[in-house]
Amino acid sequence: MRCVAALLAAALLGVGGFGCGDGGAEPGAPIGATLMLDFTPNAVHSGVFAAEVEGIYDREGVDLDIREPGEASDAPKLLAAGRVEFALMDIHDLGIARERGLDLVGLMPIVNTPLASVISRADGPVRRPRDLAGATVGVTGLPSDDAVVDSALSADGADPAAVERVTIGFNAVSALAAGKVDAVTGFWNAEGVVLPERNVPVRIFKVDEYGAPRYPELVLVAAASTIDERPELADAMVVATRRGYRLAVHRPGEALDDLLSSSPALRRDEQAAQLRVLLPALRPVALDRDRLEAWARWDLEHGLLSEPLDVEEAFPFPPPGETLNSFGDQ
């Protein structure tokens, strides 16, 4: 793990980090790798597609194959089996995978704040989370949704047990628009943007404003074995991905073009609106130990983890004395 930490420190500083381990490709030869997305392409992936289309991965020596998740895909198992080298994963899924014995490592944050939220109609009676007592909330069925609802109500002085939860799958937009539920769990950058565009006014209760710490929602992940065996690849992947998101932040129109050129079925106006609200969160700076420890405690408290997570093993913090430049200084 010390080798991994040193590599990632070097990568985030923008310098070479090929000194840990031997083997690998000849200097200048592209290294083949696969990245599994967490969901179908959307604005949150703008930095990845910008890095791909603009040749950033190529210039860093990574011949990257970007794959969308299939219905039966299981990114943690694919990573652990070496069938894919990297994946974008929800941070809760990373914690759960490690608890199940998969030695996966969070290399860098992609989105540095939580995206989860409870969303109600602005023209309805739910003006704050405690107003949900006795109301119905649509949830996907994922355990993290219950954690979000519990956190929001508890933080606002209400009993989470007073809410009726209705499993609606991933139909939050249609369910809230049709008035089938009083509120839904969703992402403020996705459902929180789509609903107003469909003339459904909303109130958004972000989970980090109601009980949760400001943890990074989306993380670039690899198996520890992949990093140990191919350290130069981890170095290059972090550098290129970070530069792709820097491009997305400073030239969002160009990054949006790159995303749409790779996924032409996406609606430009919808993705532009999502990217606009996401920009402040798309700054993948250094991992923050205090935030990650607070996140691990929150996941444990809300039942997403059954035992304390060792964040030192789950994330390659830089060695003592290393100082990572801020995102804007690169």
DSSP assignment letter at 274: H
Kindly report, residue by residue over 64-75, the tens digit of the pLDDT.
Answer: 999 999 865 689
Q: Using alpha carbons, select from 295, 325, 319 the residue that is nearest to residue 151.
A: 295
DSSP assignment letter at 132: G
Q: Could you tell me if 16 and 156 lie in one domain? A: no
Number of folded domains that form the chain: 2
Q: Could you tell me if 49 and 69 lie in one domain? A: yes
Show the domain range for 179: 116-209
Q: Could you tell me if 11 and 85 lie in one domain? A: yes
Q: Could you tell me if 244 and 98 lie in one domain? A: yes
pTM score, whole prediction: 0.86
Q: Could you tell me if 95 and 230 lie in one domain? A: yes
Among 182, 209, 236, which residue terminates a domain?
Answer: 209
Q: Could you tell me if 202 and 62 lie in one domain? A: no
φ, ψ dihedrals at 231, nearest 5°: -60, -35
Among 184, 209, 234, which residue terminates a domain?
Answer: 209
Kindly report, residue by residue over 144-177, the tens digit of the pLDDT.
Answer: 999 999 999 999 999 999 999 999 999 999 999 9
In angstroms, the Cα distances linking 48 to 4, 130, 255 are 22, 38, 9
Q: Quick check: 173 and 197 in contact, CB under 8 A?
A: no
Q: Could you tell me if 313 and 165 lie in one domain? A: no
Q: Output the tens digit of pLDDT for each of the chain's 330 residues.
A: 444 444 444 444 443 433 343 344 455 678 899 999 999 999 999 999 999 999 999 999 999 999 999 865 689 999 999 999 999 999 999 999 999 999 999 999 999 999 999 999 999 999 999 999 999 999 999 999 999 999 999 999 999 999 999 999 999 999 999 999 999 999 999 999 999 999 999 999 999 999 999 999 999 999 999 999 999 999 999 999 999 999 999 999 999 999 999 999 999 999 999 999 999 999 867 789 999 999 999 999 999 999 999 999 999 876 544 433 333 333
CATH of the domain at 48: 3.40.190.10
Q: Could you tell me if 10 and 46 lie in one domain? A: yes
Q: Could you tell me if 147 and 194 lie in one domain? A: yes
Q: Could you tell me if 223 and 311 lie in one domain? A: yes
Q: Could you tell me if 107 and 220 lie in one domain? A: yes
Q: Could you tell me if 159 and 236 lie in one domain? A: no
Among 178, 193, 209, which residue terminates a domain?
Answer: 209
Between CA 262 and CA 21 the distance in angstroms is: 35
